[in-house]
């Protein structure tokens, strides 16, 4: 039997992981990506404007270590062989801002808020797994014991999710009907029926403590009021396991994935656009993909629906027995396939939630910033308006970003990411999934390449304004009065960049929101219902968003190909 071939569209985390596992299954695998470097949203960002600075370009929280450990073992190696993981002390820091009525109409803290920010030390909460119960108890008597019980349940739900839900294509729902599931059925039903927001209110009255427990909803591209309480399992990852830092940042993680792919014989064709998924037959199945130009040999044939391709019949066809798109699912379905072969046509997306976007800031700062930890979360005292601005039906471009933001300072742990005497800051400002908010400045220099840029484009004013206000907010809330003056380089990324670089639906930064209607078996299948041998991986399909879940999505493709209907991870032998 001749070796089967596979094409993977997209060299992000899911694409790299899928390609490696496919190769180990015996496939001849080619990965194609329109960008010049692998990693997708993950990896690092550097600029010629500031030599010596390096920022994580996207993901920066190393959570769910079991998913990494399991993936590496499937690939014949270990996490210890691939990464140098560092424990963080504290795991992260929380800084609480002034109340909403102390902020002016544009979102910048006014003079009253700035005065309150002068007492920043009174509003700082360092989170460490070893002391988290004592921390809760010291702030609110009784909350420590309630947190202990909450975390016991979150750990239980986390384990159930690993064994039953995440590594599961839901092709045999009856496989979930086990004694173990029946034992936990009542708890799972309760957690599915209520929101994370309402659930954490049973643990604490103090708003800061509630925010610590409910903010992980943002990691899931949603808000606490829309996330099912089942996602309290996230507290197991950050409050029991605690985040780690892979030395070298997430670029080191991506480098390890690329290295494993190449070691397993995967071929790469970068800076190459896939314009069409080519099919044949009355019962359509994949023939391969059409690329725009490129120097890889193809068969030169036109697909059955060549006239429907995004760029017509131009470009070569790379044949494959299996195609896995690790690109955005909406883009894959609506742009790379004709309407007759779309499992999820345009109307399907009208009722779906794209999740959040963001404005990113890559800043280099002169001098040390002890006020900020490796991970720092800045929370509005009343954050309901923040979520309304990002997710609400009445959101506008003028009020389209959250004042509860995240700052990463990897230079706190890794001396190689900034010149001596400087710090690097990665700032994530949650924003509405609206490409109209605009582009940032980070990728202007790539505008002449196949890197998602547009020649002559500059940073849009709205993105610049949000970034300026976010820096002012950090300065005031953290008590760093001269922060803006000490910034020596600042680059930004806007929602339009996500839409342009990654073809991300609605300019989303993470992936579709993990609401009840978009979780588990409701999230959508990872196999086309219209085209045989076409599969989907990545954050826009099951099991969901985040680097660990992208690794799991790759494994779920292998389970599909093996016709493995069991829940749970694959055996590692």
Which has the minimum average pLDDT: 21-30, 114-123, 402-411, 560-569?
A: 114-123
Each residue's pLDDT tens digit, 209-253:
999 999 999 999 999 999 999 999 999 999 999 999 999 999 999
Cα-Cα-Cα-Cα dihedral sign, residues 488, 246, 237, 24: positive
Q: Specify the range with the lowest mean pLDDT, choosing from 60-64, 166-170, 295-299.
A: 295-299
Least confident of 53-57, 259-263, 398-402, 560-564: 398-402
Verify that 39 and 171 share a domain, yes or no. no
Q: Are residues 189 and 166 in the same domain?
A: yes
What's the token pair of residue 308? 């429907």
- The CATH number assigned to the domain holding 436 equals 3.90.660
What is the Cα–Cα distance from 396 to 402, expressed in whole angstroms? 12
CA distances to 169, 544, 556, 557 from 562, rounded to whole Å, are 12, 21, 10, 9
Lowest mean pLDDT across 85-94, 368-377, 447-456, 504-513: 447-456
Average pLDDT over residues 343-371: 97
**3-class DSSP assignment, residue 153:** helix
**pLDDT score at 190:** 93
Instruction: Look at residues 452, 554, 560, 528 and name the one whose alpha carbon lies nearest to residue 17.
Output: 554
Identify the pLDDT of residue 264. Answer: 99
- Local confidence band at 420 (pLDDT 50, 70, 90 cut-offs): very high
Query: What is the pLDDT confidence band of residue 573, given thresholds at 50, 70 and 90?
Result: confident
Residue 120 has a pLDDT of 53
Average pLDDT, the chain: 91
pLDDT value at residue 293: 65
Domain that holds residue 139: 130-241
> What's 143's domain CATH number?
1.10.405
pLDDT bin (cut points 50, 70, 90) of residue 22 is: very high
> Is pLDDT above 80 for 56?
yes
Residue with the two structure tokens 């109409």: 105
Residue 119 has pLDDT above 60, yes or no: no
55 inside domain: no
- For residue range 437-450, list pLDDT tens digits in order: 999 999 986 544 43
- Please compute the mean of the pLDDT values over residues 129-152 and round it to a whole number: 98
DSSP 264: T
Report the SS3 class of residue 195.
Answer: strand
Q: Sign of torsion, CA 73 75 81 83? A: negative
CB 497 within 8 A of CB 440: yes
Q: How far is 224 from 392, CA to CA, in rounded Å? A: 13
Q: What is the pLDDT of residues 366-389, one digit of tens each?
A: 999 999 999 999 999 999 999 999
Question: Are residues 459 and 405 part of one domain?
Answer: yes
One domain, residues 140 and 180: yes
d(C-alpha 514, C-alpha 61), whole Å: 18
pLDDT for the residue 306: 35
- 342: in domain: yes
Last residue of some domain: 241, 267, 293? 241
pLDDT given for residue 98 in this prediction:
73
Q: Are residues 389 and 483 in the same domain?
A: yes
- Are 429 and 364 found together in one domain? yes
Q: Please tell me the distance from the alpha carbon of residue 200 to that of residue 196, in angstroms, as a whole number.
A: 6
pLDDT at 321 over 60: yes
- Whether residue 69 lies inside any domain: the answer is no
437 contacts 499 by C-beta, under 8 angstroms: no
**Looking at the structure, do residues 117 and 32 belong to the same domain, yes or no?**
no
Q: Is residue 65 part of a domain?
A: no
Can you tell me which residue has the tokens 């009542």?
A: 186
* Inter-residue contact 470 to 361 (CB < 8 Å): yes
173 and 27, same structural domain?
Answer: no
pLDDT of residue 368: 98
Query: Is 117's pLDDT higher than 80?
Result: no
Considering only 120-129, 373-382, 515-524, which range has the smallest mean pLDDT? 120-129
DSSP states of 61-84 as a string? -B--HHHHHHHHHHTT--HHHH--
Give the pLDDT confidence score for residue 173 in this predicted structure: 83
Residue-wise pLDDT for 172-208, tens only, equals 988 887 878 888 889 999 999 999 999 999 999 999 9
Q: Answer yes or no: is 60 within a domain.
A: no
Same domain, 120 and 172: no
Listed residues 241, 274, 300: the one ending a domain = 241
Residues 203 and 345 in one domain: no
- Mean pLDDT lowest for which of 58-62, 93-97, 157-161, 453-457? 453-457
**Cβ-based neighbours of 247, under 8 Å, separated by 6 or more:** 83, 84, 85, 86, 413, 414
**Whole-angstrom Cα distance, residue 351 to residue 434?**
16
**Which CATH number goes with the domain that contains 536?**
3.50.50.60
* Separation between Cα atoms, residue 549 and residue 485, nearest integer Å: 39
Choose among 69, 373, 122, 369: nearest CA to 241. 69
- Give the Cα-Cα-Cα angle 91, 97, 103 (nearest 5 degrees): 150
Q: Are residues 175 and 272 in the same domain?
A: no
Domain boundary (241, 264, 285) is at 241
Q: Do 431 and 375 share a structural domain?
A: yes
Looking at the domain assignment, is residue 177 inside a domain?
Answer: yes
Residue 103: predicted pLDDT: 53
Q: Is the pLDDT of residue 491 over 70?
A: yes
Contact 68, 79 (CB under 8 A): yes
Instruction: Kindly state whether residue 437 falls inside one of the protein's structural domains.
Output: yes
Domain assignment of residue 75, yes or no? no
What residue has token string 């470097």? Answer: 37
- Asked if 568 contacts 168 with a C-beta cutoff of 8 angstroms, the reply is yes
What is the number of domains present in the chain?
3
- What pLDDT shows up at residue 399? 81
């Amino acid at each position: 039997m001749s070796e089967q071939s596979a094409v993977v569209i997209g060299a992000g985390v899911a694409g790299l992981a899928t390609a490696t596992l496919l190769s180990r299954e015996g496939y001849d695998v080619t990965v194609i990506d329109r960008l010049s470097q692998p990693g997708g949203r993950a990896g690092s960002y550097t600029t010629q404007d500031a030599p010596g600075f390096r920022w994580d370009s996207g993901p920066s929280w190393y959570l769910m270590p079991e998913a990494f450990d399991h993936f590496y073992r499937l690939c014949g190696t270990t996490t210890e062989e691939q990464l140098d993981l560092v424990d963080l002390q504290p795991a992260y820091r929380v800084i609480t801002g002034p109340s909403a009525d102390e902020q002016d109409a544009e979102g910048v803290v006014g003079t009253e808020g700035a005065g309150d920010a002068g007492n920043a030390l009174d509003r700082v909460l360092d989170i460490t797994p070893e002391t988290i119960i004592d921390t809760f108890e010291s702030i609110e008597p009784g909350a420590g014991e309630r947190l202990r019980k909450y975390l016991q349940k979150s750990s239980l739900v986390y384990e159930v999710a690993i064994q039953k839900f995440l590594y599961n294509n839901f092709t045999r729902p009856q496989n979930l009907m086990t004694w173990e599931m029946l034992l936990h059925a009542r708890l799972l039903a309760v957690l599915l029926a209520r929101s994370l927001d309402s659930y954490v209110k049973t643990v604490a009255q103090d708003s800061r403590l509630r925010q610590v427990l409910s903010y992980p909803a943002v990691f899931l591209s949603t808000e606490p009021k829309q996330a099912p309480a089942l996602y309290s399992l996230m507290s197991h990852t950050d409050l029991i396991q605690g985040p780690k830092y892979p030395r070298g940042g997430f670029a080191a993680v991506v480098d390890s994935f690329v290295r494993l792919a190449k070691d397993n014989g995967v071929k790469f064709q970068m800076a190459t656009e896939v314009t069409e998924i080519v099919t044949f037959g009355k019962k359509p199945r994949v023939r391969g993909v059409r690329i725009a130009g490129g120097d890889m040999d193809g068969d030169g044939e036109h697909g059955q629906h060549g006239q429907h391709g995004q760029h017509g019949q131009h470009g070569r066809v790379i044949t494959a027995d299996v195609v896995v798109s690790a690109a955005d699912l909406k883009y894959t379905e609506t742009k790379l396939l004709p309407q007759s072969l779309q499992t999820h046509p345009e109307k399907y997306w009208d009722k779906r939630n794209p999740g959040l976007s963001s404005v990113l800031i890559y800043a280099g700062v002169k001098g040390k910033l002890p006020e900020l930890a490796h991970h720092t979360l800045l929370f509005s005292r009343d954050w309901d308006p923040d979520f309304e601005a990002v997710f609400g039906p009445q959101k506008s471009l003028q009020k389209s970003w959250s004042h509860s933001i995240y700052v990463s300072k990897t230079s706190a742990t890794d001396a190689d990411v900034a010149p001596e005497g400087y710090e690097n800051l990665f700032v994530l400002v949650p924003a509405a999934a609206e490409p109209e908010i605009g582009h940032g400045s980070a990728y202007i220099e790539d505008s002449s390449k196949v890197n998602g840029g547009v020649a002559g484009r500059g940073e849009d004013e709205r993105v610049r304004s949000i970034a300026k206000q976010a820096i002012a907010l950090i300065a005031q809330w953290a008590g760093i009065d001269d922060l803006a003056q000490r910034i020596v380089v600042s680059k930004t990324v806007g929602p339009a960049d996500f839409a342009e670089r990654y073809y991300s639906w609605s300019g989303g930064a993470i992936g579709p929101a993990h609401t009840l209607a978009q979780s588990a078996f409701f999230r959508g299948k990872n196999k086309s219902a219209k085209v045989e041998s076409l599969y989907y991986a990545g954050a826009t399909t099951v099991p969901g968003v985040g680097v660990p879940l992208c690794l799991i999505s790759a494994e779920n493709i292998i389970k599909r190909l093996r016709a493995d209907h069991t829940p749970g991870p694959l055996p590692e032998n």
